[in-house]
Amino acid sequence: MTLTFKNLGTDVAEYKVVTRNEVSTQRNTRTAIAPNVQPGDSDSYSTQSTLSPDTNYASVRYVMGSKVCVFSTTFIKLPGAGGVKVPKWNRTANSEGGAVCTATSRATNLSTYAWAAEFTMK
């Protein structure tokens, strides 16, 4: 999966690792996550969970002063009728301290289930 974080605010957004899932995401990235994202800039990186080819997830946290955004996105292929696996994507954006956080995701290749997620913070 490809993740893009966009800083829509007026302060530098700092990437922070706090939880076990955030540590796993950091370890699973193929390119380093930028420690800071300037206002108006973005950072993109790809990650792949080692759990299963049918499962992928990412959990990241960004901080701007007292504002905090915690983003999460998951993908799983669930068994469906006739043994066909059905893809399911989820995403969440939790905010603290008055932050405005959004998370969106979309499939980029339906035959491989490749997907992208975009996280924004203001």
Model confidence pLDDT, tens digit, residues 50-96: 888 788 899 999 999 999 999 999 988 888 888 888 888 899 999 99
Which two structure tokens, joined as six digits, stand for 22?
Answer: 């955030």
Residue 17 located in a structural domain: yes
Residue 29 located in a structural domain: yes
Residue 40 located in a structural domain: yes
Does 41 or 106 have the greater pLDDT score? 41
- Show the beta-strand stretches assigned E in the chain: 2-7, 13-16, 36-37, 42-46, 55-64, 67-79, 85-96, 101-109, 114-121
Residue 47 located in a structural domain: yes
b/e code 8-28 from CB counts within 10 Å (16+ = b) = ebeebbebebeeebbebbbeb
d(CA 71, CA 5): 10
d(CA 55, CA 97): 32
pLDDT over threshold 80, residue 111: no
Domain of residue 45, residue span: 2-114
pLDDT value for 100: 98
Residue 110 located in a structural domain: yes
Residue 121 located in a structural domain: no
pLDDT value for 50: 83
pLDDT value for 97: 98
Residue 73 located in a structural domain: yes
Report the pLDDT averaged over residues 37-48. 97
Residue 95 located in a structural domain: yes
Count of the separate structural domains present in the chain: 1
